[in-house]
């Protein structure tokens, strides 16, 4: 992210951004684990 954008955000906006990024990271882990499970299930059916 551009440093000047970060500097222009107030504390509430930074907190909102941080929470959004945390949520995105958590969702990415969930999707990755679901993919691994589905892939294992698919491979076991072969």
Select the more confidently predicted residue: 6 or 43: 43
The residues, any chain, with a CB within 8 Å of residue 17's CB and separated by 6 or more, are: 9
Q: Is the pLDDT of residue 31 over 90?
A: yes
Mean pLDDT of 18-33: 98
Mean pLDDT (the chain) is 96
17 close to 9: Cβ distance less than 8 angstroms: yes
Mean pLDDT of 14-28: 98
- Residue 32 has which token pair? 């990755």
40: confidence class by pLDDT, cuts 50, 70, 90: very high
Q: Indicate yes or no: pTM above 0.75.
A: no
Where do the domains of the chain lie? 3-45
37: left (phi > 0), else alpha (psi -120 to 50), else beta? alpha
Select the more confidently predicted residue: 24 or 1: 24
């Amino acid at each position: 992210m551009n440093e000047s954008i970060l500097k222009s955000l107030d504390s509430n906006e930074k907190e909102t951004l941080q929470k959004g990024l945390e949520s995105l990271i958590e969702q990415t882990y969930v999707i990755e684990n679901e993919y691994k499970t589905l892939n294992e299930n698919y491979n076991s059916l072969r």
